[in-house]
Amino acid sequence: MLQINNVNTHYGPIQALHDVSINIEEGEIVTLIGANGAGKTTLMMTICGDPQASSGTVTFCGEEINKLNTPDIMRKGLAIVPEGRRVFSGMTVEENLFMGSYFRSKEEAQKTAAHVLELFPRLEERYKQRAGTMSGGEQQMLAIGRALMSKPRLLLLDEPSLGLAPIIIQQIFDIIQKLRDEGVTIFLVEQNANQALRIADRGYVLENGRVIKTDSGANLLTDEAVQQAYLGG
Amino acid sequence: MTTSKFYNAIFAAGITLILACLMIGVKLDTSGTQLAIKGASAAQWTWIGGGIALVFLSQLFSGQIDSLFKSIPKPNITTMLPEEKKMATLKPWLIAGLIVIMVIWPFMVSRGSVDLATLTLIYIMLGLGLNIVVGLAGLLDLGFVAFYAVGAYTYALLSEYFGLSFWVCLPISAGAAALFGFVLGFPVLRLRGDYLAIVTLGFGEIIRILLNNWTNVTGGPSGISGIAKPTLFGLEFTRKAKGGEDAMTFHEYFNLDYSSSYKVIFLYLIAVLLVIFVIYLINRLMRMPIGRAWEALREDEIACRSLGLNKTAIKLSAFTIGASTAGFAGAFFSARQGFISPESFIFIESAIILAIVVLGGMGSQVGIILAAIIMTILPELAREFSEYRMLLFGLLMVLMMRWRPEGLIPMKRPQLELKQ
């Protein structure tokens, strides 16, 4: 569904990604793990076209998207939950959700909204409340819900567990699995390698801008090198 | 804690002393052909001493004064309004009543008041325009007066060189200002906050200086005079018709005695019409998805982009629509004055419009209308204080921000109180 082929990305003279190739098939949960500064977020941003890849191709559903502008890419059927939630804090939950369906008709949006509220009953309780007044976990749910409002085929999640309590992280990961069962393909970037690999079908390990290892989630979880580096031995 | 307060108070009192001595304490006076330095009178020195003591004490006891301020109950305007449901049914009637009052009112009051009301209406238009840029899209614009100038000069020049009428020029002026907004929008797309403010400030100055120096077209500092007044379906409001043989004036057509107040009232009514049009239009826009997108952009740019919204298009549309509103106001302004010069479009105008938006409550239309009324009428009411007028004006602004920091009527957002 999403093929990343030998992508190199630069920030000015600094090269952040070196020949990164990643393949995501429909219906999978693919996770990307790596330490701080490994280039995880850069890869995510490169998919979204900001910064654009200096060489290599990004193909989504058979269409090359690495030369397109960010807004055009984002309307192709992929959605991103940016790092750090980034909900519109002054707007209500309802308004936040409907910003996600900006380019869809009202009827379709209503239908998706009902589904999102089913997934996150917590958001329904807070429907008319300002997003900024909610807890971190609720905001993360809202950010995911907002991304789902565009009915994406591929959902990119950038560190959804960042700064959340373990029990909330568990809920978020449960939701991610539920989404996969509904047919949404998921690309998950995580520092929380343990949790991420547990639910992932396949995983990639990124180090200093290079993919150093790829295997099934279960294998990576038991891999000695990965355990040493990311799972605390 | 107390020592730092003490030093703070000493410092503030010292600054007051220096400023007061320079500004009031010594004066230049002409004696014959020479300038002489004159010291202040004893009474003035007492006042200065009193002022310094006041600054010193207020700094020293600022904590206590703050708590005193807090204990003053703040009037809650929102509770004074009827409930939401009642409001929904009352609203159309209220609006209709307000419009009727606004139309009847000028026939009962003096010419001066009507003139002042017209000026207020111009500021309402400007405030509403800037509200889109600053209040909704969150782009701090300090050069808003430039678009006002573009609108005013577009009408003045088209009327002078091509003899076009006010009604034809109105949309052209709005269009010209919108074009300038669009052009300015491009270079500033990547800027935010302070940087954007500086660039727009520069733009405002460029326009003013251009108008000042392009003497053979704009007349430079002497401006353009004799700009045609608006007509009512071709009927002029002058004593004698200027527009040729078969031209008629308003009072001849309706068989009335000539009175110059007809013209004033007519201008006022046009302003009312324009303001209603602008309010309606902006209200519509705010409810449309584009209005939401402006707000979303103000809240979080990255989130906006992640949702596939085009940042460029949103910013440009805010700039363009805000500018066109100013162009509208500008065209009307030059038609009302009959004379414009770059003097009318100095930075202080931008600052006042911005103050209207901030005082009114960013994003809230009712608040801005209220603030525009206060900001234009108060300086007039305070005329008796002559040179202390602006001082009073400043003091009032400080007090207002202190009293209601979110503005007079903050933008209303639906909120749910959680009951434990």
> Where does A5-69 have alpha helices with state H?
40-47
Residues A44 and B306: their CA atoms lie apart, in Å, by: 11
- Residue A135 has a CB neighbour count (10 Å cut-off) of 13
Chain B residues 282-301 with a CB less than 8 Å from chain A? 289, 292-293, 295-296, 298-300
Judged by DSSP in three states, B254 sits in coil
Report if residue A35 sits inside a domain: yes
> Is B296 within 8 Å of B304 (Cβ atoms)?
yes
Q: Which of B136, B286, B299 to mutate to test the interface with A (most CBs of A within 10 A)?
A: B299
Residues of A with CB under 8 A from a CB of B: 48, 50, 69-71, 73-75, 79-82, 86-92, 95, 98-100, 102-103, 126-130, 146-147, 150
Residue A105 lies in a domain: no
Domain assignment present for residue A71? The answer is yes
**B interface test, pick of A99, A106, A126, A133 with most B CB neighbours within 10 Å:** A99
Q: How many domains does chain A have?
A: 1
Whether A176 maps to a domain, the answer reads no
Interface probe, candidates A81, A91, A98, A133, chain B, greatest B C-beta count within 10 A: A91
Q: For each of chain B's 420 residues, which pLDDT tens digit applies?
A: 567 788 888 888 888 888 887 777 777 777 777 777 777 777 888 888 888 888 888 888 888 888 887 777 666 655 555 566 677 778 888 888 888 888 888 888 888 888 899 999 999 999 999 999 998 888 889 999 999 999 999 999 999 889 888 999 999 999 999 999 998 888 887 787 788 899 999 999 999 999 999 988 888 888 898 888 887 777 777 766 665 556 667 777 777 777 777 888 888 999 999 999 999 999 899 888 899 899 899 888 889 988 989 888 999 999 999 999 999 999 999 999 889 999 889 988 898 899 899 888 888 888 899 989 988 888 777 777 767 777 777 787 788 777 777 777 777 654 444 544
Taking the CA of residue B115 and the nearest CA in chain A, the distance in Å comes to 40
In terms of residue numbers, what domain contains A202?
A: 1-77+192-233
Which tokens sit at B353?
Answer: 């419009």
Q: How far is B355 from chain A (nearest CA, A)?
A: 22
Tokens representing B420?
A: 């434990």
Asked whether B387 and B401 are in contact (CB, 8 A), the reply is no
Per-domain boundaries in chain B? 3-71, 93-229+261-403
Length of chain A: 233
Whole-angstrom Cα Rg for chain A: 17
Task: Classify the phi-psi angles of B226: left when phi > 0, otherwise alpha if psi is within -120 to 50, otherwise beta.
Answer: left
Which of these, A51, A44, A63, lies nearest to A3 by C-alpha position?
A: A63
The HSE-up count of residue A47 (CA atoms within 13 Å, CB side) is 34
Domain assignment present for A156:
no
Report the amino acid identity of residue B185.
Answer: G
Report which of A122, A148, A150 is spatially closest to residue A137, judged by C-alpha positions: A122
Size of interface A-B (CB pairs under 8 A): 79
Give the CATH number for residue A216: 3.40.50.300
B213 touches chain A (CB under 8 A): no
Q: Which CATH fold would you assign to the domain B93-229+261-403? A: ABC transporter involved in vitamin B12 uptake, BtuC (1.10.3470)
Which residues of chain A are within 8 Å of residue B304 when distances are taken between CB atoms?
99
| Nearest CA-CA distance, residue B190 and chain A, Å | 14
Q: Is A120 a domain residue? A: no
Nearest CB to B414; choose among A100, A128, A150:
A128
DSSP state of B142: S
